[in-house]
Homo-oligomer: A and B are copies of this chain.
Amino acid sequence: MPTKKITKNTERCALQEILGVIGGKWSMSIIYALSHRTMRFSEIERMIPGINTRMLVKELKNMENNGIVTREVFATVPPTVEYTLTAKGKKLNPIIDELYKWGEEYVDKSMS
């Protein structure tokens, strides 16, 4: 991952760093899905309509690298993999929730 060193433009660059971590198209949806409980890969996949395997794997991997989720593999047949939000990830929940409320109030007012 491009962890480029920030030299000067602290605040605004930090925002872009953050977006690099959770600004992906599906990141927030995944965090939201995991907010209540640990889930298996296929559970997450089913909970997020529209996502495809590749993107889910990619986002989960990215989030794991950024310490937002943990990945636990069970040597069952067929294989079981569970994903859980870390403390770091959990802290995003209220924020995403606020964002969601903001959108509820404004963005999709006219939608059904």
Contacts and interface: CB of A to CB of B under 8 A. Distances in A.
Interface residues of A, number: 47
Contacts of A15: 28-29, 32, 96, 99-100, 103
A37 interface: no
A14 B88 contact: no
A5 B67 CA distance: 33
Contact of A5 (B19, B94, B111): B111
A4 B28 CA distance: 20
A5 B19 CA distance: 26
A54 interface: no
Interface of A: 3, 5-19, 21, 23, 25, 28-29, 32-33, 47-50, 66-67, 88, 91-92, 94-96, 98-100, 102-108, 111-112
